């Protein structure tokens, strides 16, 4: 019964799109620039310092509705990118402990719900809004450690693929602008400049205070247009 109700709700939510508009389905690629966000004023002695060392390309698949004569339209996107971080952490007290130097590669998958405000007829200008759930697919960790305090001093290397350092789920917001224009009856070029901002503590095991990322994403893509206008509407 619960599944049936969910299907009915989903069907009636998208019924106006399927009856009176268009659907754009496509893929895009681009580049992701990241800046760390953190509350450094409340850091404790053992919290790690983290900084960006590597930006990366991104790739995503998207769905967009285009309802005739409506400014507000729905969109959704699945996006992958990775980011490089380095970190420095001291675990212990003033007399003895361990110093860690980390290098991380974070592989991220974002599931984005993306309402859009669309202006124009053939050549369109778009204001993007949205929210996302980020899933940390994998973390590659390298680095080294060294003890301090009474001898003997010991050292070692870090080389791990299991994640001990970051939260698996991350939540955030999206905003930006875009444009789209047709190159044929079915194919649409899509250009976007978006910012995403994480609002949960991404580095919870490494830091007791807030740490996340502000990302600037520039992308270009190609979409295929599916007309969903009913036969009766066409006759009008």
pLDDT at residue 1, rounded to an integer: 53
Token reading at 120? 């124009």
Per-residue model confidence (pLDDT) at position 105: 97
pLDDT digits (tens, 9 = 90+) for 147-164: 998 889 999 999 999 998
Question: HSE on the CB side for 19, CA within 13 Å?
Answer: 7
Coil/strand/helix, residue 157: strand
Q: Which CATH architecture has domain 20-235?
A: Beta Barrel (2.40)
| pLDDT value at residue 121 | 85
Instruction: Give yes or no for residue 12 having a pLDDT over 70.
Output: no
Three-state DSSP class for residue 206: coil
Is residue 232 very low, low, confident or very high in pLDDT (cuts 50, 70, 90)? Answer: very low
Q: Nearest CA to 136 among 50, 212, 209?
A: 212
3-state DSSP assignment of residue 35: strand
Taking the model in full, what pTM does it have? 0.84
Rounded CA gap, 166 and 185, in Å?
Answer: 46
Quick one: pLDDT at residue 193? 98
Residue pair 32/198 in contact by the 8 Å Cβ criterion: no
Mean pLDDT of the chain: 88
In this prediction, residue 10 carries a pLDDT of 44
pLDDT, tens digit, 9 for 90 and up, residues 74-89 = 999 999 999 999 999 9
> Is the Cα torsion angle 169, 172, 176, 182 positive or negative in sign?
positive
For the chain, give every domain's residue range.
20-235
Q: Does residue 185 have a pLDDT over 80?
A: yes
Question: Residue 26's pLDDT band (boundaries 50, 70, 90)?
Answer: very high
**Interatomic CA distance for residues 182 and 26, integer angstroms:** 13
């Amino acid at each position: 019964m619960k599944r049936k109700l969910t299907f009915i709700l989903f069907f009636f939510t998208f019924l106006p799109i399927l009856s009176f508009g268009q659907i754009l389905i496509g893929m895009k690629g681009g580049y992701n620039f990241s800046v760390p966000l953190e509350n450094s004023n409340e850091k404790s002695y053992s919290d790690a310092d983290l900084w960006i060392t590597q930006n990366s390309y991104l790739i995503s698949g998207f769905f967009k509705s285009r309802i005739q004569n409506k400014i507000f339209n729905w969109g959704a996107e699945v996006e992958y990118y990775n980011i490089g971080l380095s970190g420095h952490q001291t675990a212990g007290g003033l007399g003895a402990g361990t110093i860690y130097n980390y290098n991380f590669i974070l592989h991220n998958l974002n599931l984005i719900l993306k309402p859009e405000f669309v202006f124009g007829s053939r050549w369109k200008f778009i204001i993007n809004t949205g929210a996302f759930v980020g899933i940390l697919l994998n973390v590659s960790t390298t680095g080294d450690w060294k003890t301090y305090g009474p001898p003997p001093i010991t050292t070692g290397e870090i080389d791990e693929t299991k994640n001990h350092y970051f939260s698996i789920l991350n939540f955030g917001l999206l905003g930006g602008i875009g444009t789209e224009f047709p190159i044929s009856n079915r194919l649409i070029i899509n250009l976007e400049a978006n910012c995403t901002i994480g609002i949960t503590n991404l580095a919870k095991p490494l830091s007791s205070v807030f740490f996340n990322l502000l990302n600037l994403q520039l992308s270009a893509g190609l979409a295929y247009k599916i007309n969903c206008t009913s036969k009766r509407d066409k006759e009008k």
